[in-house]
Every structure is written in C-alpha cells, then in structure tokens.
C-alpha cells in the first residue's frame, strides 16, 4: 500500500438526500480532496452506507456524488479499499469490480512498511451479541439475498429507507462505551499477541486510541458526530479529527 494510509469508518450515507446530509457529504468530500492531494491509500472500514442493496442492473442513484468522488480519487492514483459493514453487505459487481480497488467481505489483514494491521468492522464481537450473530447469519444468507432481490427496487429501497430511519441510535453513555472498549481491548490483545501491531475496528461510534503492550487498538469513530479518521505515515498510527467538525 502506498503511504500514507488513511482509515475511516461508519459514514452512513443516507438514502434521503436532505440539506443536512448534503452538508455532511461535503465535509467528507473535503477530506477526500485532502487525500487526493497527499497521495496514499484510503481504507473504508464498513458502514459506508446506512443502507445499500445492489440489484443485478440497479444501484441507488442517490449516492452518485459519492461514486463520482471515489472515481476521481482512483483516477488520481489513490487505491481505495472497502471492508463491508453490517449496513452495506449486500453488494454486487458495481461495488466489487467497478467502484473500489478491493472489497472485503470479512476481517482482513494488511502488512504496510513492516507493520501488521488486523482490520475488522467489529460487528458481532461483543459477548452479549449472541442474538445479533444469529440475525447476521440470516441476513447474509444466499436465501435472504435472493428473496430480497425479488422485490422491485422501488419497494426494496423504500423498505431500506424505513429500516435506516428506525436504526439511528448511535449515541451511548460513557459507561456503555467503556464496556465496549474494554471488551474490544481483549480481542485486540489476542491479535497483538499473534504478532499484529494494530487492531482497527469501526461500528461502535466512539473515537478511541488505546496503547496495548506496544501495539494499538483503534476504534475509528464515525462521520456522523466525530468526523474522525486514522492515518499511518509509515512509522505510527494516529487517530485524528477532520477540521473543527467534531460534535460533543
């Protein structure tokens, strides 16, 4: 991978293009333009979309401005990697072959400049996520995907928009966030003991960087409240915030 390597997560592009959504995307595109100028690599670690479902010949047109910005990044020589999250798993060849350089359907690893990265979106890791893990198996099954594709796209996206609105609960208490970071630290520690230098996750909508026995756990935050990202310059991995856009 070309340096520097940028990592972002949980953008949650919405199916409804409201004024606030346009402004939020403009902030994201400012960041993309920075990446284009600096060169390097961009890794999107899941939940790029709040809902995405790709039919054989149909994609959501509301995301066209985003598609355009990614294509311009790639034309500038930026390699863009996409690790699928729980909100955007239902992709086909437009995502995997046309839009991104590499798409990953599960956890993956990178070796960059002598450092080893373990990457996961992070959903299903928590010990109390047993019910979710069963639901995930169902929603990712070939039977579910085949059945959903029988729906007309207009109905499919209308259902997706309704589900998206029902799921906007990304703010948690400090106590709950600590409970999450403590448990994810256990998972990170196991990977660090296997020889990885960095364990990077998204999903949990908190921006946190923790040093663990010479390595790091990094929870990437989101582009809803934090506008956070990580950058690896070839020597160290650091969590940063884009401009003055972080909200309390």
Q: Which residue has the tokens 């929603």?
A: 139
Per residue in 51-69, pLDDT tens?
999 999 999 999 999 999 9
- Is residue 144 included in any domain, yes or no? yes
Structural domain contains residue 141:
yes
The pLDDT value recorded for residue 158 is 87
* 247: in domain: no
When pLDDT is averaged across residues 210-214 and rounded to a whole number, the result is 91
Q: Residue 79 falls within a domain, yes or no? A: yes
Assess if residue 246 is contained within a domain.
no
Find the mean pLDDT for residues 222-242: 95
Residue 24 domain-assigned?
yes
Give pLDDT, residue 136: 84
The domain total for the chain is 1
Average pLDDT, the chain: 92
In this predicted structure, what is the pLDDT of residue 248? 40
Share of residues in the chain with pLDDT > 70 (%): 95
Q: pTM to 2 decimals?
A: 0.92
| Closest to 49 (Cα-Cα) out of 25, 79, 73 | 25
The pair phi, psi for residue 220, each rounded to 5°, is -75, -10
Answer whether residue 248 is part of any domain. no
Whether the per-residue pLDDT at 24 is higher than 80: the answer is yes
Q: How far apart are CA 198 and CA 192, in angstroms?
A: 7
> pLDDT tens digits for 154-201?
898 888 878 766 555 567 788 988 999 999 999 999 999 999 999 999
Strands 5-8 and 41-45: parallel
Q: What is the pLDDT of residue 176?
A: 87
Q: Per-residue pLDDT for 246 more than 60? A: no
Assess if residue 89 is contained within a domain: yes
What pLDDT, on the 0 to 100 scale, is given for residue 140? 83
pLDDT at 168: 59
- CA 194, CA 137: separation in Å to the nearest integer? 27
What is the SS3 assignment for 90?
A: strand
Look at residue 169 in the predicted model and tell me its pLDDT. 58
CATH number at residue 73: 3.60.21.10
Tell me the C-alpha to C-alpha distance, in Å, between residue 153 and each of 38, 49, 60, 61, 105.
39, 17, 9, 11, 23
Identify the pLDDT of residue 57.
Answer: 92
Mean pLDDT for the stretch of residues 217-235: 96
pLDDT in tens, 25-45: 999 999 999 999 999 999 999
Residue 131 pLDDT level (bands cut at 50, 70, 90)? confident
Q: Is 2 exposed, middle or buried (0-12, 13-18, 19+ CB in 10 A)?
A: exposed
**Domain span at residue 226?**
5-241
* Burial class of residue 37 (count of CB atoms within 10 Å of its CB; 0-12, 13-18, 19+): exposed
Greater pLDDT, 184 or 138: 184
Residue 207: what pLDDT?
A: 95
């Amino acid at each position: 991978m070309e340096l520097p390597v940028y990592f972002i997560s949980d953008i949650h592009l919405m199916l409804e293009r409201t004024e606030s959504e346009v402004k939020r995307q403009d902030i994201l595109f400012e960041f993309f333009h920075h990446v284009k100028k600096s060169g390097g690599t961009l890794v999107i670690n899941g939940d790029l979309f709040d809902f995405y479902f790709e039919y054989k010949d149909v994609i959501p047109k509301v995301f066209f401005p985003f598609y355009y910005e990614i294509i311009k990044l790639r034309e500038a020589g930026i390699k863009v990697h996409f690790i699928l999250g729980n909100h955007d798993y239902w992709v086909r060849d437009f995502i995997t072959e046309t839009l991104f350089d590499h798409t990953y359907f599960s956890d993956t690893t990178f070796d960059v400049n002598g450092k080893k990265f373990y990457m996961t979106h992070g959903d299903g890791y928590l010990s109390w996520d047993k019910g979710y893990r069963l639901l995930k198996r169902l929603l990712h099954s070939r039977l579910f995907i085949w059945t959903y594709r029988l729906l007309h796209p207009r109905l499919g996206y209308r259902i997706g928009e309704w589900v998206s609105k029902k799921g906007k609960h990304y703010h948690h208490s400090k106590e709950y966030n600590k409970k999450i970071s403590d448990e994810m630290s256990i998972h990170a520690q196991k990977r660090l003991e296997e020889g990885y230098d960095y364990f990077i996750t998204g999903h949990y909508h908190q921006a946190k960087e923790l040093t663990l026995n010479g390595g790091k756990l990094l929870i990437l935050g989101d582009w809803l409240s934090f506008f956070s990202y990580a950058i690896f310059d070839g020597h160290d991995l650091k969590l940063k915030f884009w401009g003055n856009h972080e909200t309390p």
